[in-house]
Amino acid sequence: MGLGYRILPGLLIIPLLAAVFGCVSTAVKNREPSPDDVFRENVINYATTLLGKPYRNGAKGPDAFDCSGYVHYVYGRFGVAVPVSTEGLSRVGREVPREDVRRGDLAIFRIKGEHHVGIMINGLEFIHASKSKGVMIDSIDAPYWKKNFSHFRRIL
């Protein structure tokens, strides 16, 4: 028997193993969004309609906002009562680690002894009322925000 007859059985078994252990198609189940997911999506969608609104210290909307007023106003539109101060928002709900952050969670910052707050859009971006640019979207990993980051809070 030549070398080819000894290799052939080994070559025939490879496709069989591939079919059994990994190349067989499996049905992918599409997960229906939960009511919580839909609620969070609605909060973020509404929050983004306020992009570009100006910042004004102490303003609670709808024409201008400070950071806590913005969060209070957005959640208030959905019947969620949250504190109106950054200090209160920094303690409401429960703290969550970054790997568990979800849309709608709060991002809390500590800047020169004062709190600042925004609403997480995804695991990287948050929307907030900036003193310099009004309501806008920023990255949690931007150097300024990264160095002043305090923690995340879940209120939903």
DSSP-assigned beta bridge partners for residue 137: 127
Known active-site residue 72:
no
Catalytic residue among 67, 72, 115, 151: 67
> d(Cα 143, Cα 87) in Å, to the nearest integer?
23
Catalytic residue among 23, 72, 128, 151: 128
Q: Are 116 and 148 in contact (CB under 8 A)?
A: yes
Known active-site residue 115:
no
Known active-site residue 116:
yes
> d(Cα 69, Cα 84) in Å, to the nearest integer?
6
Which strand (E) or helix (H) includes residue 16?
Answer: helix 3-21
- What residues act catalytically? 67, 116, 128
